[in-house]
Amino acid sequence: MAGNNNFSDIYNLTFRKAPLEDDPEKVGELVQKTGFFSDSEIEIAKELVRERLLRGIQSGYYFIFVENKKQLIGYTCFGPVAGAQSSFDLYWIVIDNSFQGYGIGKLLNTMTENIISEMGGSRIYAETSSRPQYEPTRAFYRNAGYNEAAHLEDFYAPSDGKIIFVKRII
């Protein structure tokens, strides 16, 4: 298992859907600590939480936050695709590096799929980079039952394509 946590830490998880006032900064710190994302991507992650705090569900952004002893250790952000009948985007799924390898990401993903299904969603789209650094992310999606639907070369930058995954949940 990754990190130096034991199972008693893992069993002390709490989940919530509503963002709190300090979540934009906590999300920013969590996303930054992964070492995967640029400064602009970190700002986007924070902005989505701010937008939800400001506009509520009218923002179109939904969250599941997971905490261990009141410390944010992971979250998902998802929402319906504008103009689509039952398609949802999975914008973010992030787990603190020291809590990876315990199945928390898988649990968050399953919880997200269940909520999307309850909301009438039938397909979930997730995108990620084609850079080698993101192979664990792509493996996560494949292991969770997502299929690669598209590969857009040089999308983010030269030699950094966008890979779009899709999962049918109904």
Give residue-wise pLDDT tens across range 150-167. 999 999 999 999 999 999
CA-based angle 88:38:136, to the nearest 5?
A: 60
* pLDDT for 5 beyond 80: no
- Measuring CA to CA, which residue among 154, 123, 137 is closest to residue 95? 137
The one-letter amino acid at 129: S
Give the per-residue pLDDT at 170. 74
pLDDT above 90: percentage of residues in the chain: 87
pLDDT tens for 63-73 read 999 999 889 99
Average model confidence (pLDDT) across the chain:
92
Domain-embedded: residue 1: no
Contacts of 165 (CB under 8 A, 6+ apart): 125, 126, 127, 128, 138, 141, 142, 146, 147, 148, 149
Q: What's the whole-number mean pLDDT along residues 123-133?
A: 95
Structure tokens belonging to residue 147: 């299929």
pTM for the model? 0.90
- Is 2 within the bounds of a domain? no
pLDDT tier at 8 (50, 70, 90 boundaries)? very low
Task: Please indicate, yes or no, if residue 25 is contained in any of the structural domains.
Answer: yes
Q: Flag whether 20 is in a domain.
A: yes
Residue 12's pLDDT is 85
| Position 106 in a domain | yes
What is the CATH number for 33? 3.40.630.30
Asked, for residue 78, whether it belongs to a domain, the answer is yes
Q: What are phi and psi of 109, to 5 degrees?
A: -65, -45
Q: What is the dihedral of CA 70, 44, 90, 153, to 10 degrees?
A: -140
pLDDT at residue 114, rounded to an integer: 97
> How many C-beta neighbours within 10 Å does residue 136 have?
10
- What Å distances lie between residue 109 and 78, 132, 142, CA to CA? 10, 22, 12
Residue 129 lies in a domain: yes
Confidence of residue 49 (pLDDT cuts 50, 70, 90): very high
Domain that holds residue 147: 7-168
Structural domain tally of the chain? 1
Residue-level length of the chain: 170
What local confidence, expressed as pLDDT, does residue 69 receive? 87
pLDDT of residue 1: 41
Tell me the C-alpha distance between 167 and 5, whole Å.
31
If pLDDT is split at 50, 70 and 90, which confidence band does 10 have?
Answer: low
